[in-house]
Chain A
Amino acid sequence: MIRRITENAAVSLNLGETPWPPKFPGGLEYSSPARGTWNIVHVGMLLPEAHLIFVCAEACLRGVVLTAAEMGAMDRFSMINIHENDITSGGMETLIIDGVGDILSRLEKKPRAVLLYTSCVHHFIGCDLPLVYKTLRENHPEVDIINCYMNPIMRKSGLTPDQLMRKQLYAGLKAAEHDPKKLIFVGNDFPTPEGELRELIGFAGFSVSEIQDFSDYDGYLSMGKAPAAIIFNEAAKPAGNELKRRLGIETIYLPYSWDYAEIRAGYEKLAGYLGVHVPDYSSLEAECEAAAARALRLIGDTPVAIDYTLTYKPVGLAYFLASRGFNVKRIYGDGYSKEEQASYEKLSEIRPDIELWPTVNVMMRKTDRAETDYLALGQKAAYFLGTDRFVNIVENDGLYGFGGIIRLMALMEDAYKTPKDTKKLVQIKGWGCGGCL
Protein backbone atom coordinates (compact mmCIF):
# COMPACT_ATOMS: atom_id res chain seq x y z
CA MET A 1 0.00 0.00 0.00
CA ILE A 2 1.37 3.40 -0.96
CA ARG A 3 -0.01 6.28 0.98
CA ARG A 4 1.20 9.78 1.45
CA ILE A 5 0.16 12.69 3.51
CA THR A 6 -0.19 15.32 0.83
CA GLU A 7 -0.54 18.61 2.63
CA ASN A 8 2.33 20.93 1.84
CA ALA A 9 4.63 21.86 4.63
CA ALA A 10 5.55 25.50 5.11
CA VAL A 11 8.49 25.53 7.44
CA SER A 12 11.14 27.14 5.29
CA LEU A 13 12.89 30.44 5.97
CA ASN A 14 13.71 33.06 3.42
CA LEU A 15 17.45 33.67 3.41
CA GLY A 16 17.20 37.40 2.77
CA GLU A 17 14.88 37.90 5.71
CA THR A 18 16.75 35.67 8.13
CA PRO A 19 19.71 37.06 10.02
CA TRP A 20 22.71 34.86 10.74
CA PRO A 21 22.61 32.31 12.24
CA PRO A 22 19.37 30.90 10.86
CA LYS A 23 17.42 28.91 13.43
CA PHE A 24 14.42 26.68 13.04
CA PRO A 25 11.98 26.10 15.86
CA GLY A 26 12.96 23.19 18.11
CA GLY A 27 10.63 20.46 19.22
CA LEU A 28 10.01 16.89 18.18
CA GLU A 29 12.30 15.55 15.50
CA TYR A 30 11.70 13.57 12.34
CA SER A 31 14.15 11.21 10.65
CA SER A 32 14.02 11.07 6.87
CA PRO A 33 14.77 7.83 5.00
CA ALA A 34 17.92 9.31 3.45
CA ARG A 35 20.58 7.43 5.39
CA GLY A 36 23.84 7.81 3.52
CA THR A 37 25.73 9.76 6.17
CA TRP A 38 28.27 7.87 8.25
CA ASN A 39 27.78 7.00 11.89
CA ILE A 40 30.19 6.06 14.67
CA VAL A 41 30.33 2.46 13.50
CA HIS A 42 31.32 3.39 9.97
CA VAL A 43 34.02 5.73 11.28
CA GLY A 44 35.26 3.25 13.90
CA MET A 45 35.61 0.54 11.28
CA LEU A 46 38.29 2.66 9.59
CA LEU A 47 40.71 1.51 12.32
CA PRO A 48 42.46 -1.56 10.90
CA GLU A 49 42.58 -4.77 12.96
CA ALA A 50 40.26 -3.24 15.54
CA HIS A 51 37.20 -4.82 17.09
CA LEU A 52 34.23 -2.68 18.11
CA ILE A 53 32.36 -3.47 21.35
CA PHE A 54 29.24 -1.52 22.28
CA VAL A 55 27.82 -1.54 25.81
CA CYS A 56 24.26 -0.25 25.66
CA ALA A 57 20.60 -1.01 26.00
CA GLU A 58 18.87 -3.06 23.31
CA ALA A 59 17.22 -0.02 21.68
CA CYS A 60 20.63 1.59 21.12
CA LEU A 61 22.43 -1.61 20.12
CA ARG A 62 19.99 -2.41 17.37
CA GLY A 63 21.07 0.46 15.13
CA VAL A 64 24.77 -0.14 15.50
CA VAL A 65 24.75 -3.92 15.17
CA LEU A 66 22.73 -3.70 11.98
CA THR A 67 25.08 -1.02 10.70
CA ALA A 68 27.89 -3.55 11.13
CA ALA A 69 25.78 -6.31 9.60
CA GLU A 70 24.93 -4.19 6.57
CA MET A 71 28.63 -3.42 6.16
CA GLY A 72 29.34 -7.16 6.20
CA ALA A 73 31.55 -6.55 9.22
CA MET A 74 29.91 -8.63 11.96
CA ASP A 75 33.23 -10.39 12.57
CA ARG A 76 34.56 -7.07 13.88
CA PHE A 77 31.62 -6.19 16.09
CA SER A 78 30.35 -7.36 19.48
CA MET A 79 27.95 -6.15 22.16
CA ILE A 80 27.20 -6.20 25.84
CA ASN A 81 23.47 -5.80 26.37
CA ILE A 82 22.48 -3.79 29.43
CA HIS A 83 19.49 -4.97 31.44
CA GLU A 84 17.45 -3.05 34.00
CA ASN A 85 19.16 -4.72 36.95
CA ASP A 86 22.57 -3.57 35.70
CA ILE A 87 21.45 0.01 36.22
CA THR A 88 20.12 -0.55 39.71
CA SER A 89 22.54 -3.16 41.04
CA GLY A 90 25.76 -1.17 40.92
CA GLY A 91 27.50 -3.90 38.97
CA MET A 92 27.99 -2.03 35.70
CA GLU A 93 31.78 -1.87 35.98
CA THR A 94 31.99 -5.63 36.52
CA LEU A 95 29.63 -6.27 33.63
CA ILE A 96 31.83 -4.31 31.24
CA ILE A 97 35.12 -5.74 32.49
CA ASP A 98 33.90 -9.34 32.45
CA GLY A 99 31.91 -8.84 29.26
CA VAL A 100 34.90 -7.55 27.31
CA GLY A 101 37.00 -10.41 28.70
CA ASP A 102 34.36 -12.93 27.63
CA ILE A 103 34.13 -11.46 24.13
CA LEU A 104 37.90 -11.34 23.63
CA SER A 105 38.22 -14.96 24.77
CA ARG A 106 35.65 -16.02 22.18
CA LEU A 107 37.09 -14.23 19.16
CA GLU A 108 38.93 -16.45 16.72
CA LYS A 109 41.71 -13.90 16.37
CA LYS A 110 42.59 -11.41 19.06
CA PRO A 111 42.29 -7.85 17.73
CA ARG A 112 45.11 -5.34 18.05
CA ALA A 113 42.69 -2.77 19.40
CA VAL A 114 39.23 -2.62 20.89
CA LEU A 115 37.03 0.43 20.43
CA LEU A 116 34.86 0.18 23.53
CA TYR A 117 31.72 2.30 23.24
CA THR A 118 29.87 3.14 26.40
CA SER A 119 26.59 5.03 26.34
CA CYS A 120 24.30 7.65 27.90
CA VAL A 121 23.44 5.25 30.71
CA HIS A 122 27.02 5.11 31.95
CA HIS A 123 27.20 8.85 32.12
CA PHE A 124 24.01 9.11 34.12
CA ILE A 125 24.67 6.36 36.65
CA GLY A 126 28.17 7.60 37.33
CA CYS A 127 29.83 4.43 36.10
CA ASP A 128 33.50 4.48 37.04
CA LEU A 129 34.80 4.37 33.50
CA PRO A 130 38.41 5.26 34.43
CA LEU A 131 38.45 2.15 36.64
CA VAL A 132 36.91 0.08 33.86
CA TYR A 133 39.52 1.16 31.32
CA LYS A 134 42.40 0.82 33.75
CA THR A 135 41.34 -2.71 34.64
CA LEU A 136 40.77 -3.71 31.05
CA ARG A 137 44.20 -2.40 30.05
CA GLU A 138 45.79 -4.37 32.87
CA ASN A 139 43.84 -7.50 31.96
CA HIS A 140 44.56 -7.25 28.24
CA PRO A 141 47.93 -5.55 27.82
CA GLU A 142 48.32 -6.90 24.29
CA VAL A 143 45.20 -5.05 23.11
CA ASP A 144 44.85 -1.28 22.87
CA ILE A 145 41.58 -0.50 24.64
CA ILE A 146 40.27 2.79 23.27
CA ASN A 147 37.41 4.58 24.97
CA CYS A 148 34.63 5.58 22.60
CA TYR A 149 31.16 6.90 23.23
CA MET A 150 27.62 6.51 22.00
CA ASN A 151 25.96 9.11 24.17
CA PRO A 152 23.66 11.19 21.99
CA ILE A 153 22.05 12.77 25.02
CA MET A 154 25.32 14.70 25.39
CA ARG A 155 25.18 15.99 21.82
CA LYS A 156 24.64 19.54 23.05
CA SER A 157 27.04 19.26 26.00
CA GLY A 158 30.66 19.63 24.97
CA LEU A 159 31.94 17.66 22.01
CA THR A 160 29.35 16.15 19.72
CA PRO A 161 29.36 12.37 19.14
CA ASP A 162 30.83 13.06 15.68
CA GLN A 163 33.69 15.14 17.10
CA LEU A 164 34.34 12.59 19.84
CA MET A 165 34.49 9.71 17.40
CA ARG A 166 36.88 11.49 15.09
CA LYS A 167 39.06 12.29 18.12
CA GLN A 168 39.08 8.79 19.55
CA LEU A 169 39.85 7.21 16.19
CA TYR A 170 43.39 8.51 16.65
CA ALA A 171 43.64 7.76 20.37
CA GLY A 172 45.59 4.59 19.62
CA LEU A 173 48.52 6.54 18.17
CA LYS A 174 51.54 6.53 20.43
CA ALA A 175 54.52 8.77 20.95
CA ALA A 176 57.09 8.09 18.25
CA GLU A 177 60.15 9.79 16.92
CA HIS A 178 58.87 12.35 14.46
CA ASP A 179 59.94 12.14 10.85
CA PRO A 180 60.10 15.78 9.74
CA LYS A 181 59.20 14.90 6.15
CA LYS A 182 56.00 13.09 7.06
CA LEU A 183 52.44 14.41 7.19
CA ILE A 184 49.09 12.84 7.94
CA PHE A 185 45.53 13.67 6.97
CA VAL A 186 43.24 13.37 9.98
CA GLY A 187 39.49 13.24 10.39
CA ASN A 188 38.20 12.38 6.94
CA ASP A 189 35.78 9.58 6.15
CA PHE A 190 36.94 9.24 2.57
CA PRO A 191 40.48 8.94 1.26
CA THR A 192 41.97 12.16 -0.01
CA PRO A 193 42.21 11.91 -3.80
CA GLU A 194 45.14 12.83 -5.98
CA GLY A 195 45.20 16.52 -6.84
CA GLU A 196 46.96 19.79 -6.28
CA LEU A 197 47.20 19.26 -2.53
CA ARG A 198 49.07 15.98 -2.79
CA GLU A 199 51.16 17.45 -5.59
CA LEU A 200 52.23 20.34 -3.37
CA ILE A 201 53.18 17.97 -0.57
CA GLY A 202 55.10 15.71 -2.94
CA PHE A 203 56.80 18.65 -4.62
CA ALA A 204 58.13 19.76 -1.24
CA GLY A 205 59.62 16.32 -0.65
CA PHE A 206 57.13 15.26 2.00
CA SER A 207 55.08 12.10 2.21
CA VAL A 208 51.54 11.96 3.49
CA SER A 209 49.36 9.12 4.76
CA GLU A 210 45.92 8.67 6.27
CA ILE A 211 44.04 5.96 8.07
CA GLN A 212 42.40 4.69 4.89
CA ASP A 213 45.86 3.75 3.54
CA PHE A 214 46.41 1.00 6.07
CA SER A 215 45.07 -2.51 6.38
CA ASP A 216 47.11 -3.31 9.47
CA TYR A 217 47.41 -1.74 12.89
CA ASP A 218 51.15 -1.20 12.64
CA GLY A 219 50.57 0.93 9.57
CA TYR A 220 48.05 2.97 11.53
CA LEU A 221 50.57 3.37 14.38
CA SER A 222 53.13 4.70 11.90
CA MET A 223 50.96 7.81 11.58
CA GLY A 224 52.31 8.81 15.00
CA LYS A 225 55.65 9.61 13.34
CA ALA A 226 54.21 12.64 11.61
CA PRO A 227 54.96 15.96 13.27
CA ALA A 228 51.92 17.59 11.66
CA ALA A 229 48.39 16.67 10.72
CA ILE A 230 46.37 18.27 7.94
CA ILE A 231 42.73 18.65 8.90
CA PHE A 232 39.96 19.69 6.51
CA ASN A 233 36.90 18.85 8.53
CA GLU A 234 35.94 21.25 11.30
CA ALA A 235 34.57 18.34 13.34
CA ALA A 236 38.08 16.88 13.43
CA LYS A 237 39.63 19.92 15.12
CA PRO A 238 39.31 18.33 18.60
CA ALA A 239 41.22 15.35 17.20
CA GLY A 240 43.98 17.73 16.18
CA ASN A 241 44.00 19.40 19.59
CA GLU A 242 44.32 16.03 21.27
CA LEU A 243 47.15 14.90 18.97
CA LYS A 244 48.98 18.12 19.78
CA ARG A 245 48.45 17.62 23.54
CA ARG A 246 49.42 13.97 23.62
CA LEU A 247 51.96 13.58 20.87
CA GLY A 248 53.06 17.08 19.95
CA ILE A 249 51.57 16.76 16.46
CA GLU A 250 50.79 20.19 15.03
CA THR A 251 47.54 20.87 13.22
CA ILE A 252 47.51 22.48 9.80
CA TYR A 253 43.86 23.39 9.35
CA LEU A 254 42.90 23.71 5.70
CA PRO A 255 39.13 24.02 5.86
CA TYR A 256 36.90 22.47 3.26
CA SER A 257 35.91 25.37 1.10
CA TRP A 258 34.21 26.37 -2.14
CA ASP A 259 35.94 29.75 -2.17
CA TYR A 260 39.11 30.29 -4.21
CA ALA A 261 40.62 32.80 -1.79
CA GLU A 262 40.11 30.48 1.17
CA ILE A 263 41.53 27.53 -0.75
CA ARG A 264 44.56 29.59 -1.77
CA ALA A 265 45.00 30.79 1.81
CA GLY A 266 45.05 27.17 2.93
CA TYR A 267 47.72 26.29 0.40
CA GLU A 268 49.78 29.31 1.41
CA LYS A 269 49.63 28.14 5.01
CA LEU A 270 50.66 24.64 4.00
CA ALA A 271 53.42 25.90 1.73
CA GLY A 272 54.75 27.92 4.63
CA TYR A 273 54.98 24.77 6.72
CA LEU A 274 56.56 22.83 3.87
CA GLY A 275 59.10 25.56 3.27
CA VAL A 276 58.21 26.09 -0.39
CA HIS A 277 56.60 28.86 -2.39
CA VAL A 278 52.95 28.44 -3.05
CA PRO A 279 52.37 27.58 -6.71
CA ASP A 280 50.37 29.81 -9.00
CA TYR A 281 46.92 28.29 -9.06
CA SER A 282 45.41 30.66 -11.59
CA SER A 283 45.24 27.96 -14.26
CA LEU A 284 43.36 25.69 -11.87
CA GLU A 285 40.97 28.51 -11.04
CA ALA A 286 40.41 28.92 -14.76
CA GLU A 287 39.72 25.20 -15.03
CA CYS A 288 37.16 25.52 -12.24
CA GLU A 289 35.49 28.40 -14.07
CA ALA A 290 35.46 26.43 -17.32
CA ALA A 291 33.98 23.40 -15.56
CA ALA A 292 31.32 25.54 -13.90
CA ALA A 293 30.48 27.24 -17.21
CA ARG A 294 30.19 23.89 -18.95
CA ALA A 295 27.90 22.55 -16.22
CA LEU A 296 25.80 25.71 -16.36
CA ARG A 297 25.37 25.42 -20.12
CA LEU A 298 23.92 21.96 -19.59
CA ILE A 299 21.92 22.57 -16.43
CA GLY A 300 20.68 26.02 -17.34
CA ASP A 301 18.01 27.45 -15.08
CA THR A 302 17.05 24.08 -13.59
CA PRO A 303 16.35 24.70 -9.91
CA VAL A 304 19.14 23.42 -7.69
CA ALA A 305 18.94 22.35 -4.04
CA ILE A 306 21.87 21.58 -1.76
CA ASP A 307 21.85 19.71 1.53
CA TYR A 308 24.24 19.40 4.44
CA THR A 309 24.91 15.71 3.87
CA LEU A 310 26.78 16.38 0.62
CA THR A 311 29.13 18.99 1.99
CA TYR A 312 30.11 20.45 5.33
CA LYS A 313 29.80 23.88 3.71
CA PRO A 314 26.42 23.95 1.92
CA VAL A 315 26.11 27.74 2.13
CA GLY A 316 29.59 28.21 0.68
CA LEU A 317 28.70 25.85 -2.16
CA ALA A 318 25.43 27.69 -2.73
CA TYR A 319 27.34 30.95 -3.05
CA PHE A 320 29.84 29.45 -5.46
CA LEU A 321 27.04 28.17 -7.69
CA ALA A 322 24.69 31.13 -7.38
CA SER A 323 27.44 33.63 -8.13
CA ARG A 324 28.10 31.77 -11.37
CA GLY A 325 24.51 31.80 -12.52
CA PHE A 326 23.13 28.51 -11.25
CA ASN A 327 19.53 28.70 -10.14
CA VAL A 328 20.06 27.69 -6.51
CA LYS A 329 16.68 27.74 -4.84
CA ARG A 330 16.96 25.73 -1.66
CA ILE A 331 19.43 24.75 1.04
CA TYR A 332 18.57 21.95 3.47
CA GLY A 333 20.20 21.94 6.90
CA ASP A 334 19.26 22.25 10.54
CA GLY A 335 22.27 24.21 11.75
CA TYR A 336 25.32 25.79 10.16
CA SER A 337 28.98 26.03 11.03
CA LYS A 338 30.24 29.42 12.18
CA GLU A 339 32.67 29.16 9.28
CA GLU A 340 29.70 29.65 6.95
CA GLN A 341 28.79 33.12 8.19
CA ALA A 342 30.71 35.08 5.55
CA SER A 343 29.28 32.97 2.74
CA TYR A 344 25.82 33.39 4.22
CA GLU A 345 26.08 37.15 4.21
CA LYS A 346 27.43 37.26 0.65
CA LEU A 347 24.74 34.89 -0.55
CA SER A 348 22.09 36.92 1.16
CA GLU A 349 23.14 39.91 -0.93
CA ILE A 350 22.99 38.21 -4.31
CA ARG A 351 20.19 35.71 -3.76
CA PRO A 352 17.98 36.73 -0.85
CA ASP A 353 15.17 34.62 -2.33
CA ILE A 354 16.88 31.32 -1.55
CA GLU A 355 14.85 29.15 0.82
CA LEU A 356 16.37 27.51 3.87
CA TRP A 357 14.70 24.23 4.76
CA PRO A 358 15.16 22.11 7.87
CA THR A 359 15.39 18.31 7.72
CA VAL A 360 14.28 17.20 11.19
CA ASN A 361 11.30 19.48 11.75
CA VAL A 362 8.13 17.39 12.11
CA MET A 363 6.44 19.19 9.22
CA MET A 364 9.06 17.73 6.88
CA ARG A 365 7.11 14.49 7.17
CA LYS A 366 4.41 16.26 5.21
CA THR A 367 6.41 17.49 2.25
CA ASP A 368 4.79 16.17 -0.89
CA ARG A 369 8.06 15.14 -2.54
CA ALA A 370 6.87 16.21 -5.94
CA GLU A 371 9.44 18.83 -6.98
CA THR A 372 10.85 16.48 -9.54
CA ASP A 373 12.31 19.17 -11.78
CA TYR A 374 15.09 19.93 -9.29
CA LEU A 375 18.70 18.93 -9.51
CA ALA A 376 19.59 17.91 -5.96
CA LEU A 377 23.06 18.04 -4.49
CA GLY A 378 22.78 15.50 -1.71
CA GLN A 379 20.53 12.65 -0.67
CA LYS A 380 18.26 14.51 1.72
CA ALA A 381 17.47 17.16 -0.85
CA ALA A 382 16.77 14.44 -3.40
CA TYR A 383 14.42 12.69 -0.98
CA PHE A 384 12.50 15.77 0.10
CA LEU A 385 12.10 16.98 -3.47
CA GLY A 386 11.30 13.58 -4.91
CA THR A 387 13.78 14.08 -7.72
CA ASP A 388 15.79 11.35 -9.39
CA ARG A 389 18.46 13.75 -10.63
CA PHE A 390 20.90 14.10 -7.78
CA VAL A 391 24.58 14.04 -6.90
CA ASN A 392 24.96 11.02 -4.67
CA ILE A 393 27.87 11.72 -2.39
CA VAL A 394 28.10 12.28 1.36
CA GLU A 395 30.48 13.86 3.87
CA ASN A 396 32.28 15.90 1.16
CA ASP A 397 33.60 12.62 -0.35
CA GLY A 398 37.17 13.89 -0.56
CA LEU A 399 36.15 16.95 -2.58
CA TYR A 400 38.92 19.31 -1.61
CA GLY A 401 40.35 22.38 -3.27
CA PHE A 402 40.21 23.27 -6.95
CA GLY A 403 40.20 19.63 -7.94
CA GLY A 404 37.18 19.09 -5.73
CA ILE A 405 35.29 21.89 -7.46
CA ILE A 406 36.12 20.52 -10.90
CA ARG A 407 34.99 17.05 -9.86
CA LEU A 408 31.74 18.32 -8.38
CA MET A 409 30.89 20.16 -11.59
CA ALA A 410 31.36 16.91 -13.51
CA LEU A 411 29.19 15.07 -10.97
CA MET A 412 26.47 17.69 -11.43
CA GLU A 413 26.54 17.23 -15.18
CA ASP A 414 26.31 13.49 -14.77
CA ALA A 415 23.47 13.79 -12.26
CA TYR A 416 21.58 16.06 -14.61
CA LYS A 417 21.98 13.69 -17.54
CA THR A 418 21.51 10.36 -15.75
CA PRO A 419 18.55 9.82 -13.42
CA LYS A 420 19.16 7.61 -10.40
CA ASP A 421 17.06 5.21 -8.35
CA THR A 422 16.61 7.63 -5.46
CA LYS A 423 14.58 5.30 -3.26
CA LYS A 424 17.13 2.54 -3.48
CA LEU A 425 20.27 4.63 -3.17
CA VAL A 426 19.43 7.07 -0.41
CA GLN A 427 18.31 4.37 2.00
CA ILE A 428 21.72 2.70 2.03
CA LYS A 429 23.43 3.48 5.30
CA GLY A 430 26.98 4.84 5.30
CA TRP A 431 27.23 5.50 1.57
CA GLY A 432 30.61 4.58 0.18
CA CYS A 433 31.90 2.46 3.02
CA GLY A 434 30.89 -0.91 1.63
CA GLY A 435 27.83 -2.90 2.36
CA CYS A 436 25.69 -5.84 1.42
CA LEU A 437 22.45 -4.08 0.49
Chain B
Amino acid sequence: MRNLRRRLVLAVLYLAAFLLQYGFLNNLGWGVFCPQLLLFFPVFAGLLRGRWYGLAHGLFAGLLMDLVIGRFLGLNALVWGAAGFLTGRFTTSLFKENYPIAVISVLLSYTFSSLLYAVLAGLVSGSFFSMTLISRIILGGVVVNCFIAPIIYLPVYRSLSYGWLQPMPKRA
Protein backbone atom coordinates (compact mmCIF):
# COMPACT_ATOMS: atom_id res chain seq x y z
CA MET B 1 0.00 0.00 0.00
CA ARG B 2 2.78 2.39 0.99
CA ASN B 3 4.64 1.44 -2.15
CA LEU B 4 1.62 2.25 -4.33
CA ARG B 5 1.13 5.59 -2.60
CA ARG B 6 4.82 6.41 -3.08
CA ARG B 7 4.60 5.64 -6.80
CA LEU B 8 1.46 7.69 -7.19
CA VAL B 9 3.06 10.65 -5.45
CA LEU B 10 6.12 10.31 -7.68
CA ALA B 11 3.96 10.20 -10.82
CA VAL B 12 2.09 13.33 -9.73
CA LEU B 13 5.38 15.07 -8.93
CA TYR B 14 6.80 14.20 -12.36
CA LEU B 15 3.68 15.47 -14.11
CA ALA B 16 3.60 18.65 -12.03
CA ALA B 17 7.30 19.33 -12.64
CA PHE B 18 6.91 18.72 -16.35
CA LEU B 19 3.87 20.97 -16.72
CA LEU B 20 5.37 23.66 -14.54
CA GLN B 21 8.49 23.69 -16.66
CA TYR B 22 7.19 23.15 -20.18
CA GLY B 23 3.76 24.77 -19.91
CA PHE B 24 4.48 27.58 -17.52
CA LEU B 25 8.06 28.59 -16.73
CA ASN B 26 9.32 28.30 -20.31
CA ASN B 27 6.55 30.64 -21.44
CA LEU B 28 7.56 33.40 -19.06
CA GLY B 29 10.44 34.32 -21.34
CA TRP B 30 13.27 34.00 -18.80
CA GLY B 31 15.60 32.59 -21.42
CA VAL B 32 18.54 30.65 -20.01
CA PHE B 33 17.41 31.44 -16.46
CA CYS B 34 14.64 28.86 -16.65
CA PRO B 35 14.96 26.10 -14.02
CA GLN B 36 15.40 22.50 -15.10
CA LEU B 37 12.94 20.97 -12.64
CA LEU B 38 13.07 17.43 -14.00
CA LEU B 39 16.81 17.22 -13.36
CA PHE B 40 16.17 17.39 -9.61
CA PHE B 41 14.63 13.91 -9.71
CA PRO B 42 17.77 11.98 -10.74
CA VAL B 43 20.11 14.23 -8.75
CA PHE B 44 18.18 13.97 -5.49
CA ALA B 45 17.38 10.29 -6.06
CA GLY B 46 21.09 9.60 -6.56
CA LEU B 47 22.01 11.70 -3.56
CA LEU B 48 19.44 10.33 -1.13
CA ARG B 49 18.85 6.78 -2.32
CA GLY B 50 21.98 5.78 -4.20
CA ARG B 51 23.35 5.46 -7.71
CA TRP B 52 20.86 2.90 -9.06
CA TYR B 53 17.89 5.06 -8.11
CA GLY B 54 19.68 8.04 -9.60
CA LEU B 55 20.21 6.09 -12.81
CA ALA B 56 16.58 4.91 -12.95
CA HIS B 57 15.16 8.39 -12.35
CA GLY B 58 17.61 9.89 -14.81
CA LEU B 59 16.61 7.43 -17.51
CA PHE B 60 12.93 8.02 -16.85
CA ALA B 61 13.04 11.83 -16.62
CA GLY B 62 15.35 12.05 -19.63
CA LEU B 63 13.19 9.75 -21.71
CA LEU B 64 10.10 11.77 -20.78
CA MET B 65 11.83 14.90 -22.05
CA ASP B 66 13.06 13.13 -25.18
CA LEU B 67 9.59 11.85 -26.00
CA VAL B 68 7.76 15.10 -25.48
CA ILE B 69 10.13 17.87 -26.46
CA GLY B 70 13.45 16.24 -27.35
CA ARG B 71 15.30 16.42 -30.63
CA PHE B 72 17.09 13.05 -30.34
CA LEU B 73 15.33 10.11 -28.74
CA GLY B 74 17.40 8.71 -25.90
CA LEU B 75 20.04 11.40 -25.57
CA ASN B 76 18.60 13.16 -22.52
CA ALA B 77 17.86 9.74 -21.01
CA LEU B 78 21.50 8.76 -21.41
CA VAL B 79 22.86 12.06 -20.12
CA TRP B 80 20.55 12.36 -17.13
CA GLY B 81 20.90 8.68 -16.30
CA ALA B 82 24.66 9.20 -16.14
CA ALA B 83 24.21 12.34 -14.02
CA GLY B 84 21.94 10.53 -11.53
CA PHE B 85 24.24 7.53 -11.38
CA LEU B 86 27.38 9.59 -10.83
CA THR B 87 25.68 11.74 -8.19
CA GLY B 88 24.85 8.57 -6.27
CA ARG B 89 28.30 7.11 -6.87
CA PHE B 90 30.24 10.08 -5.48
CA THR B 91 28.03 11.06 -2.57
CA THR B 92 27.73 7.74 -0.72
CA SER B 93 29.81 8.81 2.25
CA LEU B 94 28.53 12.38 2.49
CA PHE B 95 26.30 13.84 5.17
CA LYS B 96 22.95 14.23 3.36
CA GLU B 97 21.38 16.66 5.85
CA ASN B 98 23.75 19.29 4.62
CA TYR B 99 22.20 21.84 2.28
CA PRO B 100 25.43 22.70 0.46
CA ILE B 101 25.74 19.05 -0.58
CA ALA B 102 22.44 19.33 -2.45
CA VAL B 103 23.46 22.61 -4.06
CA ILE B 104 26.89 21.30 -5.08
CA SER B 105 25.34 18.09 -6.45
CA VAL B 106 22.93 20.12 -8.58
CA LEU B 107 25.71 22.41 -9.76
CA LEU B 108 28.01 19.55 -10.79
CA SER B 109 25.24 17.40 -12.26
CA TYR B 110 23.81 20.26 -14.31
CA THR B 111 27.22 21.28 -15.61
CA PHE B 112 28.19 17.69 -16.38
CA SER B 113 24.89 16.83 -18.08
CA SER B 114 24.90 20.03 -20.17
CA LEU B 115 28.47 19.45 -21.35
CA LEU B 116 27.81 15.79 -22.11
CA TYR B 117 24.63 16.68 -24.00
CA ALA B 118 26.46 19.31 -26.05
CA VAL B 119 29.20 16.86 -26.99
CA LEU B 120 26.90 13.91 -27.75
CA ALA B 121 24.35 16.03 -29.66
CA GLY B 122 27.22 17.46 -31.70
CA LEU B 123 28.56 13.97 -32.46
CA VAL B 124 25.13 12.56 -33.30
CA SER B 125 23.99 15.45 -35.50
CA GLY B 126 27.41 16.37 -36.90
CA SER B 127 26.92 20.00 -35.93
CA PHE B 128 28.53 21.24 -32.73
CA PHE B 129 27.23 24.03 -30.51
CA SER B 130 29.34 27.13 -30.03
CA MET B 131 31.21 27.60 -26.78
CA THR B 132 29.27 30.82 -26.20
CA LEU B 133 25.95 28.96 -26.27
CA ILE B 134 27.25 26.15 -24.08
CA SER B 135 28.60 28.58 -21.47
CA ARG B 136 25.43 30.70 -21.56
CA ILE B 137 23.22 27.67 -20.96
CA ILE B 138 25.45 26.30 -18.22
CA LEU B 139 25.89 29.62 -16.40
CA GLY B 140 22.21 30.56 -16.58
CA GLY B 141 21.09 27.08 -15.52
CA VAL B 142 23.61 26.81 -12.70
CA VAL B 143 22.52 30.15 -11.20
CA VAL B 144 18.80 29.42 -11.21
CA ASN B 145 18.97 25.70 -10.38
CA CYS B 146 21.39 26.18 -7.49
CA PHE B 147 19.13 28.94 -6.17
CA ILE B 148 16.05 26.74 -6.04
CA ALA B 149 17.86 23.49 -5.09
CA PRO B 150 17.61 24.05 -1.30
CA ILE B 151 13.94 25.03 -1.60
CA ILE B 152 13.13 21.71 -3.25
CA TYR B 153 15.63 19.61 -1.30
CA LEU B 154 14.09 20.19 2.14
CA PRO B 155 10.58 18.80 1.40
CA VAL B 156 12.06 15.95 -0.66
CA TYR B 157 14.44 15.00 2.16
CA ARG B 158 11.67 15.16 4.77
CA SER B 159 9.27 13.17 2.62
CA LEU B 160 11.88 10.52 1.93
CA SER B 161 12.78 10.28 5.61
CA TYR B 162 9.34 10.11 7.17
CA GLY B 163 6.76 11.21 4.62
CA TRP B 164 4.92 9.95 1.56
CA LEU B 165 8.07 9.20 -0.39
CA GLN B 166 9.51 7.04 2.39
CA PRO B 167 10.67 3.73 0.86
CA MET B 168 9.57 0.32 2.12
CA PRO B 169 12.01 -1.17 4.64
CA LYS B 170 14.27 -3.79 3.10
CA ARG B 171 13.42 -7.40 3.86
CA ALA B 172 15.92 -9.22 6.05
The finding on whether chains A and B are genuine partners in a shared complex, rather than unrelated, reads no
Give the B-binding residues of A (Cβ under 8 A): none
Give the A-binding residues of B (Cβ under 8 A): none
